[in-house]
Amino acid sequence: MIFETIKKRRSVFPVQYSDKPIAKEILEQLLEAANWAPTHKKTEPWRFKVLMGESKAKLGLFLSYKYMETEPKPKQIKIKKLMENPKRAGAIIAICMQRDPKESVPEWEEMAATAMAVQNMWLCCAEMGIGCYWSSPGLIKYMDEFFDLNEGEKCLGFFYIGYYDGEVEQGIRGPISEKVEWMD
């Protein structure tokens, strides 16, 4: 049942990933699920760039060098994390949003549609026992220097994906009754 999958969805981080590669067919399934997200006026704003193999290491180098270039007091631990996390992932999907040139809907709706596309992938990963999480580092604003982005396209983050061993923590949420106001 989808409700159980929603409840078991978790962030699983690169440090938890095993070396088992993610098959291209699995990535294609995830991307196909993303493609079925709701989209107002059918703008389908989600765009994805899939990094596998050496491109993951190149991303890590770019992020670590850009951090050292832009941070007045770069921390060695952060440099190492930026360089190593992409290599640990089985694959990384750069999450991008293509703004409708006609601006037929507000930009936030296209961002929301893109986020729903990512949620579709996340739920599929949870169902398949694959770990993932959405990272949106401050360095995301420089991704036009790494990717060839189209006019009106922006990178919103990275969807790290990897198999993992062991269990993930059970989720905790406060009661929905504290977050809902019923009106008659």
Residues of the binding site for FMN: 9-11, 40, 134-136
pLDDT of residue 161: 98
Distance between start and end Cα atoms, the chain: 31
What are the structural domain ranges in the chain? 12-165
The pTM assigned to this predicted structure is: 0.94
Do 46 and 114 form a contact (C-beta atoms < 8 A)?
A: yes
For the cut 90, the answer to whether the pLDDT of residue 171 exceeds it is no
CATH-assigned architecture of domain 12-165: 3-Layer(aba) Sandwich (3.40)
Q: Is 152 left (phi over 0), alpha (psi -120 to 50) or beta?
A: left
Query: Are residues 79 and 67 in contact, defined by beta-carbon separation less than 8 angstroms?
Result: yes
Binding site, annotated residues: 9-11, 40, 134-136
Mean pLDDT, the chain, whole residue set: 96
* pLDDT tens digits along 47-90: 999 999 999 999 999 999 999 999 999 999 999 999 999 999 99
Sign of CA dihedral 98, 101, 106, 107: positive
Give the C-alpha distances (Å, rounded to integers) separating 49 from 46, 56, 164: 10, 11, 23
**Distance between CA 123 and CA 119 in Å, rounded?**
6
